[in-house]
Amino acid sequence: MKKKVIGLKIDVDTYRGMRDGVPRLLQTLKDFNIKGSFYLRIGPDASGLAMWQIVRNPRFLQKMLTSNAVGMYGIKTALYGTLLASPLIALSFPQLIEEMLSDGHDLQFHAWDHRRWQDSLASRSEKWIAEWFSKGIEGFESLTGKKPRAFGAPGWMIDERVVKLASTFGFSYLSCTRAQEPFIHLSNGLVEIPSDLPCFEEVGLKDGAHKILRLLNDERTHIFPVHAEVEGGVGEEEFRKFLQGALQKGFAITTVDEIFSTLGKSLPLRDFRMELLAGRAFPCAV
Ligand SMILES: [Zn+2]
């Protein structure tokens, strides 16, 4: 991948991110005349369950405090699944999905229930994972009229069972890791297009655009991970700065799907592994 291209992988993780973040992002992308890939969380927003992580994982609390999580995600989001009922995310906004499609953006599958995946994947059965995929893909199809071509796992968290199951659900490629270069998953032969750049949550919003732009000093294709509730909320200004800076550096900005279709065939074949990256509370696949 020796071309100056950036793919935008925009995860829609919360109800608020879908309702408020997506329309603002659509406007930003329109202003820059660029397209992005939206990875949709289809089912319930049980983000409030994350609060239990404060008890279980001290790194999680630290991340919440240093990233100003309540400012980024909102107080209501912090209560969904606990004091407030969990609203459905993409399924509550069919008209927004239509708008995303008519604007020419690429839509793919991110999650049925994001929180339960991130909190308890290891203890879940293969049957639970298969049902999670089935419900999510069915919802995706009812919204878009198509099956998703790609899957981007919540929190870049996968295991062997997920990778094997993913190949039975008809995906053409995955975007489940934070590796530095695309590769082919050894266990299922699917292409992996990783998010190699850090996200604002990891580097912080203050001067965030600059910190990430500094990493763009090569003639390469990159994937920038975006979160609808951040870049379509308190991070909008930094996101606009990032887009402007990247274009000034001569990078083209496009969808992950477009990058997949122009990818060379000779990718390395390997297994993923889990690694704790700077600024994250949980290990990610790399
Ligand atoms: Zn996510």
At 109-150, the pLDDT tens digits run 999 988 889 889 999 999 999 999 999 999 999 999 999 999
Q: Exposed, middle or buried: residue 56 (CB in 10 Å: 0-12, 13-18, 19+)?
A: exposed
pLDDT band at 45 (very low <50, low <70, confident <90, very high): confident
Q: Write out the residues surrounding ion ligand 1, Cβ under 5 A.
A: 11, 13, 154
Whole-number Å distance, alpha carbon 153 to ligand 1 midpoint, is 7
Q: Higher confidence at residue 37 or residue 44?
A: 37
Three-state secondary structure string covering the chain: CCCCEEEEEEEECCHHHHHHHHHHHHHHHHHHCCCCEEEEECCECCHHHHHHHHHHCHHHHHHHHHCCHHHHHCCCCCCECCCECCCECHHHCHHHHHHHHHCCCEEEEEECCHHHHHHHHHHCCHHHHHHHHHHHHHHHHHHHCCCCCEECCHHHCCCHHHHHHHHHCCCCEECCCCCCCCEEECCCCCEECCCCCCCHHHHCCCCHHHHHHCCCCCCCEEEEEEEHHHHHHHCHHHHHHHHHHHHHCCCEEEEHHHHHHCCCCCCCEECCCEECCCCCCCCEEC
Q: What is the pLDDT of residue 71?
A: 65
Whole-number Å distance, alpha carbon 114 to ligand 1 midpoint, is 7
Whole-number Å distance, alpha carbon 80 to ligand 1 midpoint, is 16
Residues 281, 245: Cα–Cα separation, whole Å:
29
Whole-number Å distance, alpha carbon 162 to ligand 1 midpoint, is 16
Whole-number Å distance, alpha carbon 30 to ligand 1 midpoint, is 23
pLDDT band at 51 (very low <50, low <70, confident <90, very high): low
Whole-number Å distance, alpha carbon 13 to ligand 1 midpoint, is 5
pLDDT band at 10 (very low <50, low <70, confident <90, very high): very high
Q: What is the pLDDT of residue 2?
A: 56
The residues, any chain, with a CB within 8 Å of residue 179's CB and separated by 6 or more, are 192, 194, 196, 272, 285, 286
CA distance between the termini of the chain:
18
Whole-number Å distance, alpha carbon 175 to ligand 1 midpoint, is 12
Q: Which neighbouring-strand residues pair with 15?
A: none
Q: In this structure, what is the dihedral angle of CA atoms 93, 69, 272, 57, given to the nearest 10 degrees?
A: -130
Whole-number Å distance, alpha carbon 155 to ligand 1 midpoint, is 5
Whole-number Å distance, alpha carbon 227 to ligand 1 midpoint, is 7
Q: What is the pLDDT of residue 44?
A: 84
Whole-number Å distance, alpha carbon 113 to ligand 1 midpoint, is 10
Strands 5-12 and 37-41, by their bridges, are parallel
Residue 237 has pLDDT above 90, yes or no: yes
Average pLDDT, the chain: 90
The conformational region for residue 250 under phi > 0 = left, psi -120 to 50 = alpha, else beta, is left
- Give the rounded distance of the alpha carbon of 200 from its chain centre: 12
Whole-number Å distance, alpha carbon 184 to ligand 1 midpoint, is 22
Per residue in 57-91, pLDDT (tens digit) is 667 666 666 666 666 666 666 666 666 667 787 78
Residue 219 has pLDDT above 70, yes or no: yes
**Residue showing tokens 């993913």:** 166
Q: What is the pLDDT of residue 259?
A: 97
Whole-number Å distance, alpha carbon 12 to ligand 1 midpoint, is 6
pLDDT above 70 covers a percentage of the chain that reads 86
pTM summary value: 0.88
Per residue in 242-282, pLDDT (tens digit) is 999 999 999 999 999 999 999 977 899 999 999 999 999 89
Q: What is the pLDDT of residue 192?
A: 98
pLDDT band at 197 (very low <50, low <70, confident <90, very high): very high
Instruction: Return phi, psi of residue 175, to 5°.
Output: -135, 70
Structure tokens at 187: 């266990």
In order of their start, the domains of the chain are: 5-47+86-285 (3.20.20.370)
Whole-number Å distance, alpha carbon 10 to ligand 1 midpoint, is 9
Whole-number Å distance, alpha carbon 193 to ligand 1 midpoint, is 16
Whole-number Å distance, alpha carbon 118 to ligand 1 midpoint, is 9
